[in-house]
């Protein structure tokens, strides 16, 4: 039976009404396998995305909205311009508007506990989307990509490309980290730095700017607020003008995602770098169109692709299960401790994309169109 038919069948047999009735009886319990599981929930979904200024979130929001509306769910999709108070009031409005399931990609994972407590009073089930929500009992599930593996893939890519295990160095690297308020950023950094730090300690890799965290815990010291391209560009400008005078050339830039990489590439260009022998290796994440183009043009070396369509599909499956009162599918019940509890999670696999993969992985799969990247 198609997914749409399954949800419609549930509606037809009035389970929605039934579940509504039973939900009010069970106020305050968290969903999935518990009381709510038996009771099910109304398919009225509030989706809260961090911003429209980064390509992926537009795709994520629109795609999940389409999946749900095709299944005749009620959907309210909101974007919060990377402003936490705006996200909080949008979620409050969604709860007041009757949302029974909240899908939240947090701007700042540390500030949502109060509004989720309100949501729980309305018996809503909460799914953290891509980014974990911390410091609260009131998040029921988490769906994301394996964030540590994203960084690991970036670190291992550099390790292989530079043959670090056999290199004597010194090879100059400039590391960057993501937004200090983004729970994912520490996982991205830790995954990469666990591969690269030993080479920094051995002297094979050197960090002329000194922006070299001694441990993963110091990741935020090189974090770029809001994942802003312009902030990454000016930070790179500073490092190049202060520490790469004369003939020194930067050999590698560890960029945790594509929006930072695009700023770093602009800074390198204005400093006279051009693809070719002296051009640095640059990492990325998200397969944003501008960065895929940069990879084709030799201005970026790789990106870690997270097929956000699969994340949307997985969250749709979770919602289906919550609506039906079924056990919610998760595949990790250990990794993501939000400081109050270990949140049952579903982790998806990221993968590396280099120039030769663009056609097969991104275009043939329909993730982007050839025309999006000038092909």
Check residue 130 for interaction with ligand GAL (CB under 6 A). Answer: yes
The number of residues that bind ligand GAL (CB under 6 A) is 12
Minimum distance, C-beta of residue 195 to ligand GAL, in the bound complex (Å):
19
d(CA 257, CA 262): 9
d(CA 20, CA 10): 13
Check residue 286 for interaction with ligand GAL (CB under 6 A). Answer: yes
**Of 42, 174, 182, 320, which one interacts with ligand GAL (CB under 6 A)?**
182
Minimum distance, C-beta of residue 9 to ligand GAL, in the bound complex (Å):
35
CB 109, CB 132: distance < 8 Å: yes
Minimum distance, C-beta of residue 357 to ligand GAL, in the bound complex (Å):
18
Say if residue 84 is exposed, middle or buried (CB neighbours under 10 Å; 0-12, 13-18, 19+). Answer: middle
What is the contact mask toward ligand GAL in residues 308 to 347, using x (rule: CB under 6 A)? ----------------------------------------
CB 10, CB 326: distance < 8 Å: no
**Of 131, 149, 231, 239, which one interacts with ligand GAL (CB under 6 A)?**
131
Check residue 54 for interaction with ligand GAL (CB under 6 A). Answer: yes
Q: Closer to ligand GAL by CB, 199 or 367: give it.
A: 367
Which H or E element spans position 77?
A: strand 74-79
Q: Where are the alpha helices (DSSP H) in the chain?
A: 3-12, 15-25, 35-39, 55-70, 84-96, 113-121, 147-161, 183-202, 229-243, 258-270, 289-296, 308-324
Check residue 227 for interaction with ligand GAL (CB under 6 A). Answer: yes
Check residue 184 for interaction with ligand GAL (CB under 6 A). Answer: yes
Other Cβ atoms closer than 10 A to 94: 27
Q: Closer to ligand GAL by CB, 273 or 305: give it.
A: 305
Could you tell me whether strands 281-282 and 345-348 are parallel, antiparallel, or unpaired per DSSP bridges? unpaired
Other Cβ atoms closer than 10 A to 367: 19
**Of 19, 209, 257, 300, which one interacts with ligand GAL (CB under 6 A)?**
257
Minimum distance, C-beta of residue 259 to ligand GAL, in the bound complex (Å):
6
**Of 44, 255, 285, 338, which one interacts with ligand GAL (CB under 6 A)?**
285
Check residue 181 for interaction with ligand GAL (CB under 6 A). Answer: no
Check residue 56 for interaction with ligand GAL (CB under 6 A). Answer: yes
Kindly report whether the peptide bond that precedes residue 170 is cis, defined as omega within 30 degrees of 0.
Answer: yes
Name the residues that contact ligand GAL, by CB under 6 A: 54, 56, 130-131, 182, 184, 227, 257, 259, 285-286, 306
């Amino acid at each position: 039976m198609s997914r749409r038919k399954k949800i419609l069948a549930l509606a037809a047999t009035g389970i929605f009404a039934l579940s509504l009735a039973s939900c009010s009886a069970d106020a305050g319990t968290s969903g999935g396998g518990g009381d709510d599981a038996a009771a099910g929930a109304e398919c009225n979904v509030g989706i809260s995305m961090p911003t429209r200024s980064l390509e992926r979130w537009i795709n994520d929001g629109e795609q999940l909205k389409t999946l749900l509306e095709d299944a005749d769910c009620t959907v309210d999709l909101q974007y919060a311009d990377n402003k936490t108070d705006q996200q909080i009031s949008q979620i409050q409005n969604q709860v007041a508007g009757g949302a029974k399931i909240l899908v939240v990609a947090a701007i700042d994972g540390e500030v949502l506990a109060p509004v989720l407590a309100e949501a729980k009073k309305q018996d809503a089930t909460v799914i953290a989307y891509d980014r974990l929500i911390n410091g609260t009992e009131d998040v029921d599930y988490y769906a994301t990509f394996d964030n540590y593996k994203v960084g690991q893939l970036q670190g291992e890519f550099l390790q292989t490309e530079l043959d670090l295990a056999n290199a004597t160095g010194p090879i100059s690297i400039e590391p960057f980290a993501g937004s200090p308020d983004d729970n994912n950023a520490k996982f991205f950094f830790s995954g990469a730095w666990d591969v690269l730090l030993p080479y920094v300690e051995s002297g094979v890799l050197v960090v002329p700017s000194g922006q070299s965290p001694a441990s993963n815990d110091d990741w935020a010291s090189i974090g770029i607020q809001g994942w802003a391209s312009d902030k990454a560009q000016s930070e790179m400008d500073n490092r190049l003008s202060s520490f790469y005078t004369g003939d020194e050339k930067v050999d590698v830039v560890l960029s945790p995602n594509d929006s930072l990489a695009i700023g770093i590439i602009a800074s390198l260009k204005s400093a006279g770098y051009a693809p070719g022998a002296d051009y640095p290796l640059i990492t990325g994440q998200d397969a944003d169109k501008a960065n895929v183009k940069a990879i084709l043009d030799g201005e970026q070396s790789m990106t870690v692709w997270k097929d956000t369509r699969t994340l949307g599909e997985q969250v749709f499956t979770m919602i289906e299960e919550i609506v039906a009162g079924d056990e919610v599918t998760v595949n990790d019940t250990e990794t993501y401790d939000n400081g109050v509890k270990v949140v049952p999670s579903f982790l998806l696999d990221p993968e590396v994309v280099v120039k030769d993969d663009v056609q097969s992985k991104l275009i043939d799969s329909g993730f982007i169109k050839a025309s999006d990247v000038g092909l």
